[in-house]
Structure 1
Amino acid sequence: MAEITTIARPYAKAAFDFAIENNAVDSWAEMLNFAAMVSENETIKPLLAGGLASNKLAELFIGVCGEQVNEQGQNLLKVMAENGRLEVLPAVAQQFVELCNEWAKEIEATVVSAVELTSEQQQDISVSLEKRLARKVKLNCSIDASLVAGVIITAGDLVIDGSVRGKISRLSDTLQS
């Protein structure tokens, strides 16, 4: 995983810098997301790992993407194809979004709870995280009944485990040591 991230980072950074310079962050995010979906297609995926010449692969990939990718996006895809890196497009798209969020001072937080949270609870969590992280927070909520009660919040590198399952696990670890 770290290797893919390391490979994807320079491409995402280059695309992001170009998008910022040209005031085209949203269109680049859409292009990269679309190209990432194409690269994950079951028909395309084997071609990325296969022995096609890089120029043929780039031509094929750009042909599949069609009008969804502009000339500059096509240039990025050509460079990635030449370097045999088209298969990391999903990671490039993900890192591009992370760079956009960093630039916009936004962060996505995942909240997993034992029961569905009310809008008031979601708002309270969002406000608390915004204060703690000094960023605008976008919540993605899901339910996992195995937590018993409480929530697990993940925002970037921050993980807050306030679930009963987590507390029981920590108590068990303490008792066993």
Structure 2
Amino acid sequence: MAELVVKRYATALFDVATTENKVKQYEEEVADILKALRDTPDFVAVLHNQKVTLEEKVALVEKVFSNQVDGPIVGLLVLLVKKNRQRFLVQVLEAFLEMVKKQAGIIKATVTSAVQLTESQVDTIKVKLEASTNSKIELETIIDTSIIAGLIIRVGDKVVDASIRGKMQTLKKQLSELRLA
């Protein structure tokens, strides 16, 4: 249900941005809103507080964002509050940004390694991923010492596990399935 709600609102905002030819503007404004929401957790807490009335929440959203972002974005924020769906606010805005990236041919990828990768290693991985996907890659690096060594690369819903932990798990599975006569 939550995924459907998020997708519906994000798609509506994306459709408005596309129709009005303001995708880039909306992308920047939504990114600014997300940064503001992350930087001020008290604001989000007020939106979730049951003691604050719906009218007060709507007035707060309008006061904070009306002069900062385009009308349809404020309208979306107000609608989420009025429908008591403010808990999806961040997810909706993030989903909108993902739609913008997808339209621009940008794919998000993550590389998990046991140690910090050098800038040169990250650049090499990015170039190879862009060549293999024929898309622009937005690469995020994660350090996870539990993989022991190697890399885990995620591009969309595809995963390449070239970690020692992954190889050990595969070997363990193969050994457990091995039947001795």
TM-score (norm 1): 0.84
Deviation at 1:162, TM superposition (A): 0.8
Query: 1:53, 1:144 → 2: CA distance?
Result: 43
The separation in 2 between residues aligned to 1:24 and 1:136, in whole angstroms, is 22
Tell me the residue number matched to 1:26: 24
Q: Do 2:10 and 2:96's aligned partners in 1 also have CA atoms closer than 8 Å?
A: yes
Number of aligned residue pairs: 175
- Point out the more displaced range, 5-14 or 78-87: 78-87
In the TM superposition, 1:62-101 aligns within 5 A as: 62-101=62-101
SS in 2 for 1:42: helix
* Deviation, structure 1 residue 24: 2.1
SS in structure 2 of the partner of residue 44 of structure 1? helix
Structure 1 stretch displaced more, 67-76 or 145-154: 67-76
How many Å separate the matches in 2 of 1:147 and 1:7?
A: 35
Pick the structure with greater CA Rg.
2
Can you give the 5+ residue segments of structure 2 that lack an aligned partner in the other structure?
Answer: none
Match of 2:121 in 1: 121
* Kept after mapping to 1: 8 A contact 2:109/2:154: yes
Taking a change above 3 Å as real, the CA distance of residues 24 and 132 of structure 1, as seen in their structure-2 partners, is: same
AA aligned opposite 1:15: L
Identical residues among aligned pairs (%): 31
CA-based RMSD of the aligned residues comes to 2.3
Residues 34-45 of structure 1 mapped to structure 2, 5 A cutoff:
34-36=32-34, 37-38=36-37, 41-45=41-45
Contact 2:46/2:52 (<8 A) preserved: no
**8 Å Cα contact 1:126/1:139 also seen in 2:** yes
Counterpart code for 1:7: V
Q: Is the 8 A contact 1:55 1:81 kept in 2?
A: no
Post-superposition shift, 1:77? 1.7
Are 2:109 and 2:138, in contact at CA under 8 Å, matched by a contact in 1?
yes
SS of residue matched to 2:42? coil
Q: Which runs of 5+ in 1 are unaligned?
A: none
* 1:10–1:126 distance in 2 versus 1, CA, 3 Å: same
- The residue aligned with 2:166 is 166
- Which SS does the other structure have where 1:68 is aligned? coil
Distance 1:124 1:43, change over 3 A: closer
CA distance in 2, matches of 1:160, 1:34: 33
Corresponding residue number in structure 2 for 1:141: 141
Is the partner of 1:80 in helix, strand or coil? helix
